[in-house]
């Protein structure tokens, strides 16, 4: 099951377990730890006293008491000094051990704060990268719904270079598209170069196929195209829906109903999972009644990742989240 990034107070989340960024005494503190103890009530502290503390990178579980969550998994992140004191491997261990504990306790859904990224000073963009990396590795093997909970969105950071590249791409294409619209309204002549490139890529894709194949594929539905592409790529169904950040149940629905009409974000998620180039992505989207356009920031960001052949859905979602745009899959 998928990874979701959300903006929330973790104490309000209704899922099987929430994770606490604790300290090694497990007896409460500031930040998210303080908020969790406050919301869960005094019985949490009483149970924590019986646990004998917890080492950095390890995790222990308690009941959720007054929280909507059934369990609290307490993990102790590293204090960030300079990145040369095994901070990253301790932080990775926090996610791995917490997820393992959730699995042992049959949790189907777990919510994480960005461990170590507050009082322990781990740089937020790097903390996020570690979180996404460890959680997505876990989700390729296991079925679970995992949330990364961002408390203070204004502090949310993705890799600076990526952010700047995407912003430049949006500026160029979005602004051009708005100008184009204005020019068309005033009947100015305009060079349609980039959109022509897309049209000619689609055309040449069609030319490569025999007429027979092309005719057959004309009335192929979204679901049929998806299953054909999975076969052609030699993927398993699970590889495809996991790479698409889509849960197994939704995939089964699409698989069993050839007329299933997915949402635009689901359709794009599958195109990304299949690593389709732009022309084929548009072809697949058309089957579901959608298209990528330059007058929509979301579409431009998707196009940016496809053109740069970056098909990592979790990275794409981090960027979409940072830009307040809808996420793929989930």
Residue closest to 57 by CA, chosen among 105, 103, 90: 90
117 near 124, Cβ under 8 Å? yes
Which span sits near ligand AR6 by CB under 6 A: 145-153, 223-231, 259-267, 322-330? 145-153
- The single residue among 54, 67, 110, 114 that binds ligand AR6, judged by CB under 6 A, is 114
Point out the catalytic residue in the list 33, 171, 189, 231: 33
Nearer to ligand AR6, 81 or 258 (CB): 81
Which stretches of 186-312 are DSSP H helices?
A: 193-208, 211-218, 222-233, 237-243, 248-256, 264-273, 278-287, 297-307
The DSSP bridge partners found for residue 19 are 73
Which span sits near ligand AR6 by CB under 6 A: 7-15, 138-146, 282-290, 297-305? 7-15
Provide the minimum distance between the beta carbon of 125 and ligand AR6 in the complex, in angstroms, as a whole number.
12
Residue closest to 131 by CA, chosen among 100, 88, 81, 101: 88
CA atoms within 13 A on the CB side of 192: 10
Q: Which helix (H) or strand (E) holds 75?
A: strand 71-76
Alpha-carbon distance 96 to 133, whole Å? Answer: 10
- The single residue among 62, 97, 117, 173 that binds ligand AR6, judged by CB under 6 A, is 117
Question: Which of the residues 10 through 69 are near ligand AR6 (CB under 6 A)?
Answer: 10-11, 21-23, 29-33, 35
Any catalytic annotation for residue 33? Answer: yes
Provide φ and ψ at 121, rounded to 5°: 65, 20
Alpha-carbon distance 41 to 98, whole Å? Answer: 22
Which span sits near ligand AR6 by CB under 6 A: 54-62, 66-74, 114-122, 245-253? 114-122
Draw the binding track, 70-109, toward ligand AR6 (x: CB under 6 A; -: no contact).
Answer: -------x--------------------------------
Provide the minimum distance between the beta carbon of 114 and ligand AR6 in the complex, in angstroms, as a whole number.
4
- Catalytic site residues? 33
Residues making contact with ligand AR6 (CB under 6 A): 9-11, 21-23, 29-33, 35, 77, 113-120, 149, 151-152
């Amino acid at each position: 099951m998928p990874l979701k990034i959300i903006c929330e107070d973790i104490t309000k989340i209704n899922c099987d377990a929430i994770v606490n960024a604790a300290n090694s005494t497990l007896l409460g503190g500031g930040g998210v730890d303080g908020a969790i103890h406050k919301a869960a009530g005094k019985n949490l502290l009483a149970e924590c006293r019986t646990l004998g503390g917890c080492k950095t990178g390890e995790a222990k579980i308690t009941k959720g008491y007054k929280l909507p969550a059934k369990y609290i998994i307490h993990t102790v992140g590293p204090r960030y000094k300079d990145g040369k004191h095994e901070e990253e491997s301790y932080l990775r261990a926090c996610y791995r051990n917490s997820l393992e504990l959730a699995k042992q306790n049959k949790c189907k859904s777990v919510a994480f704060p960005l461990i170590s990224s507050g009082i322990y000073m781990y740089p937020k963009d790097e903390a996020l990268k570690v979180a996404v990396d460890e959680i997505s590795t876990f989700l390729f093997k296991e079925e679970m719904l995992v949330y990364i909970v961002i408390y203070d969105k204004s502090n949310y950071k993705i890799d600076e270079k990526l952010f700047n590249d995407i912003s430049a791409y949006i500026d160029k294409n979005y602004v051009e598209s708005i100008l184009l619209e204005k020019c068309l309204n005033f009947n100015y002549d305009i060079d349609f170069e980039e959109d022509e490139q897309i049209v000619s890529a689609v055309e040449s894709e069609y030319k490569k196929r025999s007429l027979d194949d092309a005719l057959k594929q004309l009335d192929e539905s979204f679901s049929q195209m998806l299953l054909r592409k999975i076969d052609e790529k030699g993927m398993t169904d699970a590889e495809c829906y996991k790479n698409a950040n889509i849960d197994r149940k939704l995939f089964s629905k699409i698989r069993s109903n050839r007329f299933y009409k997915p949402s635009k974000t689901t359709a794009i998620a599958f195109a990304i999972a299949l690593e389709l180039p732009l022309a084929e992505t548009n072809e697949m989207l058309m089957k579901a009644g959608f298209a990528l356009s330059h007058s929509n920031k979301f579409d431009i960001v998707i196009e940016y990742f496809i053109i740069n052949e970056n098909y990592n859905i979790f990275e794409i979602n981090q960027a979409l989240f940072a830009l307040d745009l809808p996420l793929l899959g989930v």
